[in-house]
Amino acid sequence: METAGLPGYSGRMKALCIAAAVLTAAEGMAMTSTGTTATATFAGGCFWCIEEIFRQTPGVTKVVSGYTGGQKANPTYKQVCSGNTGHAEAVQITYDPAKVSYEKLLNVFWHSHDPTQLNRQGADVGTQYRSAIFTHSEEQKKAAEGSKAALNASGERGGPVVTVIEPAAKFYPAEDYHQEYYANNREQPYCRNVIQPKLKKLGLQE
């Protein structure tokens, strides 16, 4: 096999690096040892709820709860809850496009919360609970806009969809105790009274 310093090595490595960079920029994807993965970021109220829904979605390999869309660097949960950081509670998803499409994830997103509620989800009120899609590529932007338009046209949700669509910004993972919150706290009142009914409605494991 060729190694550094031998004929063809530098050119071949340069070509591979360029190809990887183009793929990442154009599709919002990254190469891993097992294949190609892509990233999607959604906000739909309390991240505890939508995290579990996406965690159970086939083709999704990782879900991280966190904060994005605001101005403050490295925000804490308390700071985001104040509503003064501009950030939304959100989830960043790593998925296998060969197993689940971005369009399928959009469909899960629309049914994981009420996209007609402005800056709130139920009793959770504030811009930090806004409905938002943060796109990682032009393709995701077009898909999100088309999906939102179709949902509005269908009248399925009984009112105008207020979800904002904007380019993905810096994503800050939330504190460790927020990760896989439902899986680790099923007996907590919020989990029993808010998250479990959502899972049951969607036919997911409670």
With a cut of 90, say whether residue 14 has pLDDT above it.
no
**69 and 62 Cβ atoms separated by less than 8 Å:** no
Question: Is position 175 within any domain?
Answer: yes
The tens digit of pLDDT for each residue in 82-140 reads 999 999 999 999 999 999 999 999 999 999 999 999 999 999 999 999 999 999 999 99
Q: What does the DSSP 8-state code read for residue 63?
A: E
CATH number of the domain bearing residue 187: 3.30.1060.10
Nearest CA to 128 out of 59, 195, 80 is that of 80
- How far CA 120 is from CA of 43, 63, 129, 190, in Å, comes to 11, 22, 5, 16
Instruction: Give the tens place of pLDDT for each residue, 65-92.
Output: 999 999 999 999 999 999 999 999 999 9
Q: Is there a domain that residue 22 lies in?
A: no
81 is catalytic: no
pTM here is: 0.83
* Count of the separate structural domains present in the chain: 1
Domain containing 156 equals: 37-201
74 in a domain, yes or no? yes
Q: What is the pLDDT of residues 37-64, one digit of tens each?
A: 999 999 999 999 999 999 999 999 999 9
What does the longest C-alpha to C-alpha distance in the chain come to?
66
Catalytic residue among 17, 46, 49, 191: 46
Q: In the chain, what is the straight-line distance between the N-terminal and C-terminal CA atoms, in Å?
A: 52
Over the chain, what is the mean pLDDT?
87
